[in-house]
């Protein structure tokens, strides 16, 4: 059996990665449609040996399509997802538009694959930092109840899309030439700088990105009591996010046990060379499927605390790979 697939947002950072993953993972495709804004209509993108033409998304775009992988931002998803479902497609949506909708499964295949079964046309791909954290924390949570997660993120430019990555490079060149860097996509220069995540801030002082980590983790883990606090920061890294995670369990969690659990956990690669002080880094995580985890250690301030560090490719496991894994789950369960 093979499927007619459309990528909405095919020209973006995540869209181009989706193309690569459908090819490299040999997704059973009978047809691939590339959709984006009218700005890109007529451009062509390479898919294996073929050149495929990008179309502007429109009312007839989803006719006969089985699966839509959407990664064109929340407003575009809100505009098109229901139309795609009405046309008979299943939508795996990478935006935040539907994630907290109780009708919409929010899925990390390593954590809650069973949630796809109840889909009603739309399945949401979680926030990138949330996916990376959940892949690393879930296997430990399976062993022992967690009381609290405190996470600080070091997020790359790729989270804001292909144009944001270009902006950081342009800013770096400007600075090296003694010029003042300009910022358009980001509110402030990111090259040689960092700033708290640029999403809107609520009355409690948390930004949207931080609230996503809190609320989405609870939904994915199926634990609405789980206490999570996050501080999200943009750093001048092009691609791959990093996170420092503090976990407080009900009981002490033996470090050797944690290392053993994580060394066998799906989607995780342990990267720890204590002698060489070599641990996960964004440059090693870039283009890599697993979440790199290391620096697992006892929290000296709390007998039930563990500290760990991770890096994961935001564009891949944080977005495109997770979406393709959801699509593969749908295929394996005959839900398309
Ligand atoms: P386009 O290249 O035509 O602007 P990124 O996350 O890297 O910024 O990519 C965003 C993706 O979403 C791009 O493929 C972009 O297409 C697409 N996109 C943005 N706005 C729209 C829109 N209104 N309709 C369809 N696609 C859109």
Per-residue pLDDT of the chain (336 residues; tens, 9 = 90+): 999 999 999 999 999 999 999 999 999 999 999 999 999 999 999 999 999 999 999 999 999 999 999 999 999 999 999 999 999 999 999 999 999 999 999 999 999 999 999 899 999 999 999 999 999 999 999 999 999 999 999 999 999 999 999 999 999 999 999 999 999 999 999 999 999 999 999 999 999 999 999 999 999 999 999 999 999 999 999 999 999 999 999 999 999 999 999 999 999 999 999 999 999 999 999 999 999 999 999 999 999 999 999 999 999 999 999 999 999 999 999 999
The residue contributing the CA closest to ligand 1 atom 27 is 37
pLDDT of residue 142: 97
Ligand 1 centre and the CA of 76: distance in Å?
8
CA dihedral 149, 154, 157, 160 (to 10 degrees): 20
Could you confirm whether 241 is annotated as catalytic?
Answer: yes
Per residue in 59-73, pLDDT (tens digit) is 999 999 999 999 999
- Which helix (DSSP H) or strand (DSSP E) does residue 262 occupy? helix 255-263
The residue contributing the CA closest to ligand 1 atom 24 is 37
pLDDT of residue 297: 98
Residue 162 near ligand 1, beta carbon < 6 Å:
yes
Residue 129 near ligand 1, beta carbon < 6 Å:
no
pLDDT of residue 215: 98
Phi, psi dihedrals of residue 143, rounded to the nearest 5°: -85, -40
Ligand 1 centre and the CA of 13: distance in Å?
9
Distance of alpha carbon 61 from the chain centroid: 26
DSSP string, 141-195: HHHS-EEEEEEEEEE-GGGG-HHHHHHHHHHHHHHHTTPPPP-SSSSS--TT--E
pLDDT of residue 124: 98
Residue 76 near ligand 1, beta carbon < 6 Å:
yes
Q: Which atom of ligand 1 is nearest to the CA of 56?
A: 25
pLDDT of residue 300: 98
Residue indicated by tokens 């539907």: 98
Residue 34 near ligand 1, beta carbon < 6 Å:
no
Residue 145 sits at the vertex; the CA angle it makes with 316 and 290, to the nearest 5 degrees, is 15
Ligand 1 centre and the CA of 261: distance in Å?
39
C-alpha to C-alpha distance for 3 and 52, rounded to whole angstroms: 17
Residue 11 near ligand 1, beta carbon < 6 Å:
yes
Ligand 1 centre and the CA of 191: distance in Å?
24
Give this complex's ipTM: 0.98
Ligand 1 centre and the CA of 154: distance in Å?
25
Residue 213 near ligand 1, beta carbon < 6 Å:
no
């Amino acid at each position: 059996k093979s499927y007619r697939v459309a990528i909405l947002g095919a020209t973006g950072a995540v869209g181009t990665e989706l193309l690569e993953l459908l090819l490299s993972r040999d997704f059973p495709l009978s047809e691939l449609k590339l959709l984006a804004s009218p700005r890109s209509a007529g451009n062509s993108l390479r898919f294996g040996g073929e050149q495929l033409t990008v179309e502007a998304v429109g009312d007839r775009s989803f006719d006969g399509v089985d699966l839509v992988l959407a990664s064109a931002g929340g407003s575009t998803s809100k505009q098109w997802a229901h139309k795609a479902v009405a046309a008979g497609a299943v939508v795996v949506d990478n935006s935040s538009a539907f994630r907290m909708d109780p009708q919409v499964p929010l899925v990390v295949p390593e954590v809650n694959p069973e949630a796809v079964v109840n889909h009603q046309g739309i399945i949401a791909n979680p926030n990138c930092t949330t996916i990376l954290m959940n892949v690393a924390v879930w296997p430990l949570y399976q062993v022992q109840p967690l009381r609290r997660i405190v996470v600080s993120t070091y997020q790359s430019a790729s989270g804001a899309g292909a144009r944001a990555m270009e902006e950081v490079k342009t800013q770096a060149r400007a600075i090296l030439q003694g010029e003042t860097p300009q910022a358009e996509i980001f509110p402030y220069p990111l090259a040689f700088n960092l700033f708290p995540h640029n999403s809107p801030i609520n009355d409690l002082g948390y930004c949207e990105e931080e609230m996503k980590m809190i609320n989405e983790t609870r939904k994915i883990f199926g634990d609405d009591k789980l206490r999570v606090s996050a501080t999200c920061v943009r750093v001048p890294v092009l691609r791959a996010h990093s996170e420092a995670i503090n976990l407080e369990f009900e009981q002490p969690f033996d470090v050797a046990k944690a290392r053993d659990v994580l060394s066998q956990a799906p989607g995780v690669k342990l990267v720890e060379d204590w002698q060489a002080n070599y641990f996960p880094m964004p440059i090693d995580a870039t283009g890599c499927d697993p979440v790199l985890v290391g620096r697992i250690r006892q929290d000296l301030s709390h007998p039930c605390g563990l500290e760990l560090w991770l890096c994961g490719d935001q564009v891949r496991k944080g977005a495109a790979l997770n979406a393709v894994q959801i699509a593969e789950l749908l295929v394996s369960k005959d839900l398309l």
